[in-house]
Amino acid sequence: MCELLGMSANVPTDICFSFTGLMQRGGKTGPHSDGWGITFYEGRGFRTFKDPNPSCRSRIAELVQEYPIKSCAVVSHIRQANRGGVSLENTHPFTRELWGRYWTFAHNGQLTGYEKLDTGRFRPVGDTDSEIAFCWLLNQLEAKFPDLPEDMVAVYDYVAVCCDRLRELGVYNMLLSNGECVLTYCTNNLHWITRRAPFGQASLIDEDVTIDFQMETTPNDVVTVIATQPLTNDESWHKMQPGEFSVFHYGELIHNRTL
Amino acid sequence: MCELLGMSANVPTDICFSFTGLMQRGGKTGPHSDGWGITFYEGRGFRTFKDPNPSCRSRIAELVQEYPIKSCAVVSHIRQANRGGVSLENTHPFTRELWGRYWTFAHNGQLTGYEKLDTGRFRPVGDTDSEIAFCWLLNQLEAKFPDLPEDMVAVYDYVAVCCDRLRELGVYNMLLSNGECVLTYCTNNLHWITRRAPFGQASLIDEDVTIDFQMETTPNDVVTVIATQPLTNDESWHKMQPGEFSVFHYGELIHNRTL
């Protein structure tokens, strides 16, 4: 499998603590060693760091850990390859433009029959089921909404319906962001936690690191972290249900659909 | 203005030497201090490092200098903003997918009347003349060639014609790459050099660095570097003519059109 890590926050926040835990799962405490990637939004722009090498041995991963890039929306992924070879073009997250915004996507799971998905003018560059699913999703969205609608709820509902259809092809856990929102869909493994004042301490499962969030935050901060498996052993993470779809907007849960 | 730096090579090659020179022009020996970016291809995939901060003071730029990422195609740019604010989404290079390949673009110059350009379904995310020009170019290419044609010469010729039209709007110097080729177009300032065996020494103009290429290469290596202004003071750079369009394929000049 592979692991997802996302963050939605109301102030630019660094993800070093969570990323430190995730990085160990890339070949050290976990088997996910066929590449990793992380995308940070900054306004409408984004920065992506990717490496087909295992995260536990990556110089670029060390940079990300040491240089606390602050962002309100983050999508990250470490991969254990099943569909498609190990290469940079097959390394998540994937980013494409739609409606004049950059959309970034990462997928955890495995699909079958995905070759038949019509991706329209969004052509995959690599050969993973994940990128094809993303291109199909964008094609569906563009066909239904040629321009960005005023009513984003209609868009969210339609994303959920599309995710349901992808879930029919196999295991489909997803993170999708446009820099303002982080959309999540669970098939089997996805957890989340919203941290707000009064902040406390937390200890990573995979690395001997404890953080006191009160030292790092202001009383108005709201930070949601989404991960395949909980990253800390002393906090209360919510476990998403199969088919659960959520939208986090600057840290707050603004939309939720369960089956 | 701003400066372009490109590389086309027949073996994965690092650009540290040239990038060291270019980086100094980002706020130290030159005025280009409104962000920089560099894209390295690796097969069909790419990695981009960007910073809206001046390159001479950027931690990410230091990483790029110290971690010699090897690539056969590189597009790089340092910016002095004229059209569009300073932001990550306005920082070159820009990358979009067309024909199932990632195309990366950087522009040096200033255009007027670009708002009228029809970009079709390639919508700009930022507000620079450069990104709009890129989106328009892709729209023109897709309209003329709905699928990637066998005959790439027809594509190259049409890119040149499109560049001529953009040059009617102002100063248009361009680098464009799909990972295999680096396409260049000159309006006023663009120089190139192809280094091959027997390799010699070279000294950067902007930093007290000399390199002995013979220590860094094999006899079969062919490396072309393209830059707005020559980066070394002891080599023979070619100066491109106004309207000159070239295609470099793994280091070799395979297509050239002068007016």
pLDDT attached to residue A17: 78
**Residue B10 banded pLDDT, cuts 50, 70, 90:** very high
CA–CA distances in Å: residue B13 to residues B16, B49, B62, B204, B231 = 9, 17, 18, 18, 17
**Residue B1 banded pLDDT, cuts 50, 70, 90:** low
* Residues on B contacting A at a C-beta cutoff of 8 Å: 42-50, 52, 59-60, 63, 67, 87-91, 96-97, 99-102, 121-126, 142
Residue with the two structure tokens 């390199």? B211
Contacts of A46 in chain B (CB under 8 A): 88
Give the nearest partner residue to B45 out of A44, A91, A100, using CB atoms. Answer: A91
**Residue A28 banded pLDDT, cuts 50, 70, 90:** low
Q: Within 10 A of A180 (CB to CB), how many other CB atoms are there?
A: 17
pLDDT attached to residue A40: 95
pLDDT attached to residue A33: 65
At A214-251, the pLDDT tens digits run 777 888 999 999 999 998 888 999 999 999 999 999 99
**CA dihedral (A181, A16, A224, A237) positive or negative:** positive
CA distance A229 to A235: 12
At B175-230, the pLDDT tens digits run 999 999 999 999 999 999 999 988 888 888 877 777 777 777 888 999 999 999 99
Is B186 marked active-site?
no
pLDDT attached to residue A224: 96
Bin B120: left if φ > 0, else alpha if -120 < ψ < 50, else beta.
left
Which segments within A79-221 are labelled E, that is strand? 94-98, 101-108, 173-177, 181-185, 191-196, 201-203, 210-212
Give chain A's mean pLDDT. Answer: 89
State the average pLDDT over residues B106-121.
96
pLDDT attached to residue B127: 95
More confident residue, A213 or B229: B229
More confident residue, A27 or B51: B51
Give the nearest partner residue to B59 out of A67, A88, A97, using CB atoms. Answer: A67
More confident residue, B211 or A125: A125
Contacts of A38 in chain B (CB under 8 A): none
Contacts of B100 in chain A (CB under 8 A): 123-125
Q: Within 10 A of B223 (CB to CB), how many other CB atoms are there?
A: 23
Contact A70, A80 (CB under 8 A): no
Contact A166, A172 (CB under 8 A): yes
- Residue B2 pLDDT > 80, yes or no? no
Contact A126, A134 (CB under 8 A): no
Supply the ipTM of this predicted assembly.
0.91
pLDDT attached to residue A31: 61
CA distance B67 to B65: 6
Nearest CA in chain A to B147: A121
pLDDT attached to residue A50: 87
Domain that holds residue A11: 3-257
Domain CATH code at residue B130: 3.60.20.10
More confident residue, A116 or B52: A116
Q: In terms of residues, how long is chain B? A: 259
Nearest to B220 by CA among B9, B7, B6: B9
CA distance B192 to B203: 16
Q: Within 10 A of B27 (CB to CB), how many other CB atoms are there?
A: 20
CA distance B88 to B110: 19
Give the CA diameter of chain A.
51
- Residue B29 pLDDT > 70, yes or no? no
CA–CA distances in Å: residue A138 to residues A74, A102, A188 = 19, 11, 23
pLDDT-wise least confident of A3-17, A56-70, A86-100 = A56-70
Provide CB contacts within 8 A for B50, sequence distance 6+: A45, A47, B35, B36, B37, B38, B60, B88, B91
At A156-200, the pLDDT tens digits run 999 999 999 999 999 999 999 999 999 999 999 999 999 998 888
Which segments within chain B are labelled E, that is strand? 3-13, 36-42, 45-51, 71-78, 94-98, 101-108, 173-177, 181-185, 191-196, 201-203, 210-212, 222-227, 238-239, 245-249, 252-257
CA distance A129 to A113: 9
Structure tokens at B58: 């950027």
Specify the number of domains making up chain B.
1
Give the nearest partner residue to A45 out of B47, B67, B88, using CB atoms. Answer: B88
CA distance A32 to A74: 19
State the average pLDDT over residues A28-54.
82
CA distance A174 to A125: 19
CA distance B242 to B160: 12
Q: Which of A42, A141, A180 to mutate to test the interface with B (most CBs of B within 10 A)?
A: A42
pLDDT attached to residue A16: 78
Per-position DSSP letters for A37-83, written without gaps between them: EEEEEETTEEEEEEESS-GGG-HHHHHHHHS---EEEEEEEE---SS
Contact A251, A206 (CB under 8 A): no
Shortest alpha-carbon distance between residue B138 and chain A (Å): 13
pLDDT attached to residue B241: 98
